[in-house]
Structure 1
Amino acid sequence: MPRIHVDVPLAAGQPLDLPPGAARHVQVLRLQPGALITLFNGQGGEWTAAVTQIGRSSVQVEVQSHEAVEREIGPQVSIALAMPANDRMDTLVEKAVELGVAAIQPLMSERSVLRLSGERAQRKQAHWQGIAVAACEQSGRNRVPRVAPVMTFSAWLAEQAAQPDTADTTRWLLGFGEAALPLPQRLQPRAPARLKLLSGPEGGLSPAEVEAAQRAGFLPTSLGPAVLRADTAPLAALAAVALAGGMAAGVAPAPAG
């Protein structure tokens, strides 16, 4: 059954004119009146709906039953990363959502290749948010992670230093060095309930940025001896945390599809 995200309130028995993007989705799939689809709005669970009318540019459905199903991983992991160049950020957002990320914060650090500001940064944020929605539709997630506006590393870190986390939140800085503890050890005796992952750009964070991050409470965490790409490192860490959290909760991995 096709899964479609709609950013509107939903209720059983409700006739609903689908928003333009969702309506186009139905039309591209060439669905006919009577076809069933799954709707979700990010507020929890999902709804079955039946297509009732299809016009040239509009689609109406009738919302039916609600299923309070959640497919989130145990830990709530947010990623702050210096944006990789080219289309690598698109793929990173897609895969991070599939792996269960709760939020994504794009950053510009001293050594960042990709630099965005103004209207261009806003367009990119909207583009990445759309990728996050599409990844939720594909993967079965019912809560759409937020892709935050682009910030400079220094501005974002200043916010983190000024805002204390809850007692169950841990901060990790992905990287190398003698102070970096291997990620498997960070996951002992269990995966953190809430985690903020900070990852650098292609050339790595500068020494000053690393020092500032550690002062803000980010613990140096190593992913092993291999040098991973800027778009690979956060995904590897996220996958490890998701697996550890799922195993601790006794959650079986979902079949690929």
Structure 2
Amino acid sequence: MRIPRIYTADEQLQVGTMVTLDREASNHLSRVLRLRVGSEVVLFNGDGHDYQGKIEAIERNQVQVHLLQAQEINVESPLYIHLYQGVSRGDKMDLTLQKGVELGIKEFTPIITERCGVKLDEKRWAKKIQHWEKVIISACEQCGRNQIPKLNPVTPLSEAISKRSGQDFFLHPDAETQFKSYGAVNFEQSISLWVGPEGGFSEPEVDEVTRNDITPVALGPRVLRTETAALAAVSVINSVWGDF
């Protein structure tokens, strides 16, 4: 049986100490997985270590874990991939974030574009960000990453472009360049990938990103859905320059 991995926001984890998990994590271990006192678990807090421990006590809505060993583990991609993703509707954004974490993306910026179908006020955007953070953490628990990817606030496209840095590519079905024909990249700089929402970038937006020296690339002759395009592109980037 695979040992469960659980994220904790505790900033300082130390071998030999006891950690009290929050209500959500405690409920998952005790009621969903039905673990018992003495069961093994792995905790991580984003510092690059896995902390092996055993459940010491289970009380109402509270699980205590005794930390027995710390191990530094690095499963991170050698590439710093930053995904600028046009916000998509329904659970498509969740899927992009979840699988993007599995594929090694280190930073996400949700962007608002002309064809974005999601219109929320500031309060509801904040709730969306909280939800997406949970999606990212859950994906880290599942895939073995112990460094949490960064999630930036929802940002309008033009503002995101003005703050960009690194090597930039945006997906466009009519582009003449493909990743495999681009050549070498600078591993000391981030690789930024720009993906539009359903319907893609508008023509004025395509002109804007092109004026800012963001390289258009195509993913073959077929038109991909936004969630497919982002994940396919990251997979290709990892295959051409990364650790695939």
TM-score by length of 2: 0.91
Alignment partners' CA distance in 2, 1:41 and 1:244? 31
Deviations 1:149-176 (A, max 9, x none): 212212222222xxxx3xxx31111113
1:210 is the counterpart of 2:234: no
- Residue of structure 1 aligned with 2:149, choices 145, 166, 180: 145
**Would the aligned equivalents of 1:74 and 1:242 in 2 still touch at CA under 8 Å?**
no
CA positional deviation for 1:87: 1.5
Once the two structures are superposed, the pairs formed by residues 182-193 of structure 1 within 5 Å of their partners are 182-186=178-182, 188-189=183-184, 192=187
Aligned to 2:162: 158
CA positional deviation for 1:30: 1.5
- Residue of structure 1 aligned with 2:218, choices 208, 215, 222: 222
- Residue of structure 1 aligned with 2:172, choices 171, 175, 198: 175
Deviations 1:87-132 (A, max 9, x none): 1111111111111111111111011112233111111111111011
TM-score by length of 1: 0.87
Alignment partners' CA distance in 2, 1:32 and 1:124? 34
Match for 1:138: what amino acid?
Q
Aligned to 1:76: 80
What SS class does the counterpart of residue 163 from structure 2 fall into?
helix
**Would the aligned equivalents of 1:173 and 1:221 in 2 still touch at CA under 8 Å?**
yes
What SS class does the counterpart of residue 201 from structure 1 fall into?
coil
Structure 2: gaps (5+ residues): none
CA positional deviation for 1:231: 1.2
Match for 1:176: what amino acid?
P
Alignment partners' CA distance in 1, 2:64 and 2:198? 47
Closer/same/farther in 2, CA of residues 213 and 192 from structure 1, 3 Å limit: farther
Match for 2:160: what amino acid?
W
Alignment partners' CA distance in 2, 1:85 and 1:129? 17
Q: How many residues matched?
A: 239
Structure 1: gaps (5+ residues): 248-252
Aligned to 2:92: 88
CA positional deviation for 1:190: 5.8
Match for 2:163: what amino acid?
E
Aligned to 1:36: 40
Match for 1:240: what amino acid?
V
Identical counterparts, % of pairs: 31
Match for 1:115: what amino acid?
K
CA positional deviation for 1:66: 0.9
Aligned to 2:9: 7
